[in-house]
Structure 1
Amino acid sequence: MIGTLDFSPDRVSPPGDTIIDLMDEHGLTDAELSKKIGLSVLKGQQLLLGNLSLNECMALKLQDIFNVSVEFWLKREGAYREHIEHLNAVNKEWLESLPVKDMVNYGWIPKASTRELKFKHCLDFFGIKSVNDFTYKMENDAPLVAFRKSLSLKTVPMADLAWIVKAKKISNSHACKLWSKETLISLLPDIRRLSNEPDIKKFIPQLKEIFAKAGVSFVVLPTPSGCRASGATCFFKPNHATLIVSFRHLTDDHFWFTLFHEIGHLILHDAINIRIEGETELSSKEEVEADQFAIDTLIPKPFQRKIKDFRAKDWKVIVRTAKKIGISKGIVVGHLQHIGNVPYSHLNRLKVRYKKDDII
């Protein structure tokens, strides 16, 4: 979690910066100063850079050279080291708040052999140079502000944020037309028919093509550890919608219901917030509306009335009815489980199960 971190400057200059100013006033070179202090030229340069600690012996010699007190130099050194220690702690906390292992496994960032390199890769992932840049970006980047405001939490769930940022990168690389709610509505039958295709490698590319016609970037992205999202909708760009699915539940009923639930948000609700299913606390009205949209689109009301009394023993009728509806039998089973007609332990053999390796 990073939301509780206070702002602190990324850089407090080392005592070497003051030494350099005084060297210029006195006309001293690196080599001359190093000799006067009793250091090699290399160590003298390290002192100026802040990589070598300034001790009391060095402070006494600097006092003699520049007529600046020992107390000043030791206080300057102490403040610098305290800042470095604090900055390292902040960076460590930020890095540990991220699902780095999964970010590497999913190929979001390169593998690193050191903490420093791992930290750099994570900064690059967010397009920032420091943790302070991250704080600034969360407060000023419009999509991330929408993400932050969509959560009624005091801290930012970093796994969710990493998932959203990666989705944004993928979405921005997609070519699609301008967002059109009317076009998306007209394409609903085409999307719905694809629920009968069990092969994920076939229907995902087709979904991407269909959504692109309506100005929707369709992103399939597994969640890292700590992120429990099943789907999300957002507008990273004003005229382009993004719909993200995670396949968190690897069955066709969960996938298609989630997909149409997200479509419901795009069609029924405003384009301001980033909505993350499974994490955010949306108004019950919006959630109920999106749920009902998904149910009514997948199983029209006449068929809802027809199947409302089906039980597990009616599995053959369920299969025949699904064909009449024009959707997969797994979706019908999932709906019957949801309304309590069929136990969640029954008829799962009628669902299509997807392989995680086909998604990553």
Structure 2
Amino acid sequence: MTKQLYSFDPDYVVPPGETLLETIESLGMSQAELAERTGVTTKHINGIIKGKAAITPRTALQFERVLGVPATFWNNLETNYREKLAELEERKQLESEILWLKQLPLKVLLDRGWMKKGHDNVEQVKEALNFFGCASVEKWKELWQKVLNSPEVAYRKSVAFESEVGAVSAWLRQGELEAQHINSKPFNAATFRKALKEIRLLTKEDPDIFVPRMVELCAEAGVCVVFVPEIPRCRVNGATRWLTPTKALIQLSLRYKTDDHLWFTFFHEAGHILLHGKKGYFLEVADNHNDQEDEANKFAADFLIPHDSYKTFLKGKITKSRVISFANQVGIAPGIIVGRLQHDGYLSYRFFNDLKVRLVWSDDI
């Protein structure tokens, strides 16, 4: 026969005053006598017994003198009581916020191990708040509504915005958490520009080569680069923001899963860092149109493919062999050239896609 152990977590709390009452009754002492011996009012002693008044460290010392029970005992009773009281009050609050879980991509977060699974809905709300680093659902709403309604995020105009907040905020939060594990030096614009030139040459390499190297180069310049798989209904290709005044973050999703999109997104986000100050979030989504997005687009386009070289290339007939030759000439992957030509309308989206490199997450292979 084996013993079955059960955890006991009562949904009620016993004030330390009950123990105090039992103690004085065992000594044959009245509340009035205890008050007289300790120098406090009978009303105050009665308040402690009924749980309306707290046992302070000073009162605990007085009880030790009068009752012969150590002050630490009374202090611990009071501390445990207040903690349990707070837990019960919090649980009641969390019970009223269970519906919030429906706004989150909960299954994705649990399946990917980004969030711990709670043993019930209330515990799941608590685990979700832990993941987001917010004390309450109200604070979560204030934080992420502010972020996603910022002037830089034209995407806030989407008719499905409300249902997307949970997915976008979860994706962004995971990026923040992963960035915490990257040791980066204080941001230096000159170092970052130098890093971008070297990273541009990595576009012809495989992910197992370019990913760790670009993360290392950017960290040396004060920029954390993280790759976070997209979440359904998130629809964000990349994001940029400053975690501190000296530490920036570029977050990439591989949403379109081809090298031309990845590299354009990366250099687009790099443009935001160099051009647009240290305030706000910049999210790259399909319907973003404003001056800063246009400037970041131009930065990425010209950095990857020099403007004059591109104009010269366009004067000739666009063939696959010329695309490959031009890519070798300017030192980048041919898929980037194809993506640019397709975007600018010089090439059908049906042509030369075999020159693009398809990228997948290791878990998808």
Structure 2: which amino acid aligns with 1:226? R
Q: In structure 2, what is the Cα distance between the partners aligned to 1:22 and 1:244?
A: 54
Higher RCO (Cα < 8 Å, 6 or more apart) = 1
Shift of 1:319: 0.7
Indicate which of 279, 287, 292 corresponds to 2:293: 287
Asked which structure has the greater CA Rg, the reply is 2
Indicate which of 304, 310, 314 corresponds to 1:304: 310
User: Do 1:264 and 1:293's aligned partners in 2 also have CA atoms closer than 8 Å?
Assistant: yes
**Kindly tell me: are residues 87 and 347 of structure 1, through their superposed partners in 2, closer, same or farther at Cα, counting changes over 3 Å?**
same
Q: In structure 1, what is the Cα distance between the partners aligned to 2:286 and 2:121?
A: 30
Indicate which of 171, 182, 188 corresponds to 2:190: 182
User: Do 1:232 and 1:277's aligned partners in 2 also have CA atoms closer than 8 Å?
Assistant: yes
Shift of 1:148: 4.9
**Kindly tell me: are residues 159 and 96 of structure 1, through their superposed partners in 2, closer, same or farther at Cα, counting changes over 3 Å?**
same
Q: In structure 1, what is the Cα distance between the partners aligned to 2:330 and 2:93?
A: 62
Task: Give the superposed CA RMSD.
Answer: 3.3
Pairing 1:272–2:293 present: no
Q: Which residue of 1 aligns with 2:47?
A: none
* Structure 1 residues 37-186: aligned runs within 5 Å: 88-90=95-97, 92-112=98-118, 114-135=120-141, 138=143, 145-146=146-147, 148-149=149-150, 150-151=152-153, 152=156, 155=162, 157-186=165-194
Q: In structure 1, what is the Cα distance between the partners aligned to 2:277 and 2:91?
A: 45
Structure 2 segments unaligned to the other structure (5+ residues): 1-10, 24-89
Q: Which residue of 1 aligns with 2:332?
A: 327
Aligned length: 283
Q: Which residue of 2 aligns with 1:195?
A: 203
Deviation per CA, 1:121-174, whole angstroms, max 9, x where unpaired? 2122123454245356x28xxxx8555535446857121111111111111221
Q: In structure 2, what is the Cα distance between the partners aligned to 1:176 and 1:203?
A: 18
Structure 2 SS opposite 1:225: coil
* Structure 1 residues 213-232: aligned runs within 5 Å: 213-232=220-239
Q: In structure 2, what is the Cα distance between the partners aligned to 1:28 and 1:311?
A: 97
Structure 1 segments unaligned to the other structure (5+ residues): 1-13, 30-82
Structure 1: which amino acid aligns with 2:327? A
Q: Which residue of 1 aligns with 2:253?
A: 246
User: Do 2:94 and 2:122's aligned partners in 1 also have CA atoms closer than 8 Å?
Assistant: no
Structure 2: which amino acid aligns with 1:278? V
**Kindly tell me: are residues 309 and 110 of structure 1, through their superposed partners in 2, closer, same or farther at Cα, counting changes over 3 Å?**
farther
Q: In structure 2, what is the Cα distance between the partners aligned to 1:87 and 1:109?
A: 17
Q: In structure 2, what is the Cα distance between the partners aligned to 1:102 and 1:349?
A: 32
Q: Which residue of 1 aligns with 2:56?
A: none
Structure 2 SS opposite 1:270: coil
Indicate which of 336, 341, 357 corresponds to 1:336: 341
Indicate which of 201, 205, 211 corresponds to 2:212: 205
Q: In structure 1, what is the Cα distance between the partners aligned to 2:280 and 2:305?
A: 28
TM-score by length of 2: 0.69
Indicate which of 348, 352, 359 corresponds to 1:347: 352
Shift of 1:28: 8.7
Q: In structure 2, what is the Cα distance between the partners aligned to 1:158 and 1:310?
A: 48
User: Do 1:221 and 1:359's aligned partners in 2 also have CA atoms closer than 8 Å?
Assistant: no
Shift of 1:308: 2.1
Q: In structure 2, what is the Cα distance between the partners aligned to 1:357 and 1:287?
A: 31
Structure 2: which amino acid aligns with 1:254? H
Structure 2 SS opposite 1:226: coil
User: Do 2:94 and 2:125's aligned partners in 1 also have CA atoms closer than 8 Å?
Assistant: no
Q: Which residue of 2 aligns with 1:43?
A: none
Deviation per CA, 1:43-88, whole angstroms, max 9, x where unpaired? xxxxxxxxxxxxxxxxxxxxxxxxxxxxxxxxxxxxxxxx999863
Bigger CA drift: 153-162 or 337-346? 153-162
**Kindly tell me: are residues 344 and 238 of structure 1, through their superposed partners in 2, closer, same or farther at Cα, counting changes over 3 Å?**
same
Q: In structure 2, what is the Cα distance between the partners aligned to 1:268 and 1:86?
A: 44
Deviation per CA, 1:309-336, whole angstroms, max 9, x where unpaired? 4565x11111111100100000001111
Q: In structure 2, what is the Cα distance between the partners aligned to 1:109 and 1:276?
A: 23
Shift of 1:358: 5.8
User: Do 2:263 and 2:336's aligned partners in 1 also have CA atoms closer than 8 Å?
Assistant: yes
**Kindly tell me: are residues 321 and 123 of structure 1, through their superposed partners in 2, closer, same or farther at Cα, counting changes over 3 Å?**
same
Structure 1 SS opposite 2:329: helix
Shift of 1:93: 2.1
Q: In structure 1, what is the Cα distance between the partners aligned to 2:110 and 2:316?
A: 46
Structure 1: which amino acid aligns with 2:107? K
Percent of aligned positions that are identical: 32
Shift of 1:304: 1.1
